[in-house]
């Protein structure tokens, strides 16, 4: 069903873009008495396209807040929507203020500049989304961290019970819990823009949630920590 909605939305978008383009071509060749009506129709479709880009950008942004990641493939969508958003917004503002469309040469320069600005905006939106997602994750898992601290130096069984009780919470799909008498390490699987993924971890000595790409050289530091600690998962006390 979702695929059908996406297909219908894509077809409608292509139809609107085609109509929008043809109306702009007619506008420049039309006599003065018909330009006002054409401009109104162009502005209506511009507004619809602007809304489409805005809604899709907000959807991708909000989707990125759901779970920590080091970039996602959604950046491809943002690289499409953010330039389109700025172009359509500028075109609408220009036509409403000047009561005319910009010339082909002026619009080409506008589109070039706004496309570059849109690419920058797309990167900023993704970075902001990832940053907020990490903060939300840290806030949501703070009770878990405190519970692990209270359960030391034998946290496995108490944490297992805690996770089962809080299973509906999407943040409680823990990868593993490592510990000894003095420290612990909580691991989660994070997302990334490629298939390698990332690791979200809380090390008691740092007292802070961090995220690292699984291909990053510093990932070896986490492996060194896990090698000196006991694993609840290996001991079958976590799952």
The dihedral built from the CA positions of residue 204, 70, 223 and 144, taken in this order, carries a sign that is: positive
**Mean pLDDT throughout 121-129?**
93
Q: Is residue 66 located within the same domain as residue 26?
A: yes
SS3 183: coil
Domain that holds residue 211: 152-231
Does residue 69 sit in helix, strand or coil?
strand
Assigned domain for 61 exists: yes
Same domain (yes/no): 112, 180: no
Span 29-50, average pLDDT: 91
For residues 19 and 97, membership in a common domain is answered with yes
Domain count, the chain: 2
Average pLDDT, the chain: 86
Give me the mean pLDDT over the 88-101 stretch: 92
Q: Does residue 187 sit within a domain?
A: yes
Query: Is 141 inside any structural domain?
Result: no
pLDDT single digits (tens) 180-195: 888 999 998 888 888 8
> Residue 79's pLDDT is what?
93
In angstroms, rounded to a whole number, what is the distance separating the alpha carbons of residues 34 and 92?
19
- Tell me if 55 sits within 8 A of 63, measured CB to CB: no
In a domain, 144, yes or no: no
Q: Among residues of the chain, what percentage have pLDDT more than 90?
A: 39
Q: Is residue 37 part of a domain?
A: yes
Any domain includes 142 = no
The rounded distance, in Å, linking the Cα atoms of 201 and 141 is 11
Q: What is the DSSP string of 185-198?
A: EEEEEEEESSTT-E
Shared domain for 87 and 22, answered yes or no, is: yes
In this structure, the answer to whether residues 168 and 99 fall within a common structural domain is: no
**pLDDT digits 0-9 by tens, 198-210:** 889 999 988 889 9
Within a domain: residue 145? Answer: no
Let me know whether 32 and 62 are in one domain: yes
Per the rule left: phi > 0, alpha: psi between -120 and 50, beta: everything else, 99 is: left
The burial of 77, by beta-carbon neighbours within 10 Å (0-12 exposed, 13-18 middle, 19 or more buried), is given as: middle
Helix, strand, coil fractions of the chain, as percent rounded to 5: 65, 10, 25
């Amino acid at each position: 069903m979702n695929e059908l909605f996406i297909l219908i939305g894509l077809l409608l978008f292509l139809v609107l873009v085609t109509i929008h383009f043809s109306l702009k071509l007619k506008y420049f060749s039309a006599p003065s008495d018909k330009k006002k009506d054409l401009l109104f129709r162009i502005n209506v479709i511009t507004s619809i396209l602007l809304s489409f880009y805005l809604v899709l950008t907000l959807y991708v942004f909000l989707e990125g807040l759901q779970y920590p990641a080091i970039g996602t493939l959604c950046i491809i969508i943002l690289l499409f929507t953010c330039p389109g958003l700025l172009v359509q917004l500028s075109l609408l503002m220009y036509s409403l203020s000047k009561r005319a469309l910009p010339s082909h040469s002026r619009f080409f320069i506008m589109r070039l500049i706004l496309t570059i600005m849109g690419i920058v905006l797309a990167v900023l939106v993704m970075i902001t989304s990832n940053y907020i997602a990490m903060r939300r994750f840290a806030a949501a898992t703070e009770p878990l961290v405190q519970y692990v601290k209270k359960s030391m130096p034998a946290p496995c069984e108490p944490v297992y019970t805690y996770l089962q009780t809080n299973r509906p919470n999407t943040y409680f799909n823990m990868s593993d819990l490592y510990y000894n008498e003095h420290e612990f390490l909580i691991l989660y699987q994070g997302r990334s823009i490629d298939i390698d993924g990332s690791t979200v971890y809380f090390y008691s000595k740092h007292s802070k949630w961090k995220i690292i790409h699984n291909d990053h050289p510093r990932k070896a530091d986490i492996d060194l920590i896990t090698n000196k600690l006991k694993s609840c998962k290996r001991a079958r006390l976590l799952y």
